[in-house]
């Protein structure tokens, strides 16, 4: 999702006559991440790394290339997360992708959090603590599912914790999210 959003922002800035107004929220639909622009009646979406646009001006659905044709892809975050763990750093905004290896009980003390453990390609494990008072719970989450996340890393001796995977109702903190089965939880 991080690269799709980067592409969508690029399209809004570079081609406002096709994709306006800017700042539309990204949604998941089937196997696509999509933004719809009511000002122009056009859609832009990604499916994996492929880009599609849809609208009368495009004569319907048109494959427009790959994300890397237009924007530089964000590097794999496993290396950064390993460095943060080794250096004992905390309070760092990160994104990444991992496989669910364990689903834990919800933390119900104070703000409620859905908790699960993911494993990165590097074999580092992270506890994801997703605030379900501020965001929807991921009800269909299963072991071996892939999740993509954008949140804050906090160090612990087991690999680290990811939190702030939700919007900030106060608007003081960057909004985080979790992408699971092409649905955005934030």
Residue 171 vs residues 66, 110, 112, 167: alpha-carbon distances, Å: 33, 21, 20, 8
Q: For domain 78-185, give the fold.
A: OB fold (Dihydrolipoamide Acetyltransferase, E2P) (2.40.50)
* Residue 173 pLDDT: 86
Taking the C-alpha atoms of residue 48 and residue 66, their distance in angstroms, rounded to an integer, is 9
User: What is the per-residue pLDDT across 13-58, written as a single tens digit (0 to 9) for each?
Assistant: 999 999 999 989 999 888 899 999 999 999 999 998 999 999 999 9
pTM of the shown model:
0.79
Check whether 60 has a pLDDT greater than 90.
yes
User: What is the per-residue pLDDT across 99-122, written as a single tens digit (0 to 9) for each?
Assistant: 999 999 999 999 999 999 999 999
Contact between 150 and 2 under an 8 Å Cβ cutoff? The reply is yes
Domain edges within the chain: 2-69, 78-185
Beta strand ranges found along 48-176 (DSSP E): 50-55, 60-66, 92-103, 113-119, 125-131, 146-154, 161-163
* Residue 75 pLDDT: 75
């Amino acid at each position: 999702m991080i690269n799709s959003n980067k592409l969508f922002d690029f399209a809004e800035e570079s081609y406002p006559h096709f994709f306006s107004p800017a700042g539309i929220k990204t949604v998941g639909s089937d196997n696509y991440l999509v933004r719809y622009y009511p000002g122009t009646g056009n859609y832009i979406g990604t499916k994996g790394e492929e880009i599609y646009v849809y609208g009368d001006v495009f004569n319907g659905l048109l494959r427009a290339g790959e994300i890397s044709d237009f924007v530089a892809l964000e590097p794999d975050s496993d290396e950064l997360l390993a460095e943060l763990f080794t250096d004992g750093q905390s309070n760092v905004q990160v994104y990444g992708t991992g496989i669910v290896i364990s689903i834990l009980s919800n933390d119900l003390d104070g703000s409620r959090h859905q908790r699960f453990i993911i494993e990165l390609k590097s074999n580092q494990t992270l506890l994801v603590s997703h605030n379900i008072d501020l965001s929807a719970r991921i009800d269909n989450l299963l072991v071996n599912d892939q999740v993509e996340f954008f949140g804050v890393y906090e160090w612990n001796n087991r690999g680290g914790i990811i939190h702030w995977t939700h919007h900030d109702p106060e608007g003081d903190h960057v909004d985080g999210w979790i992408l699971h089965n092409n649905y955005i939880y934030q």
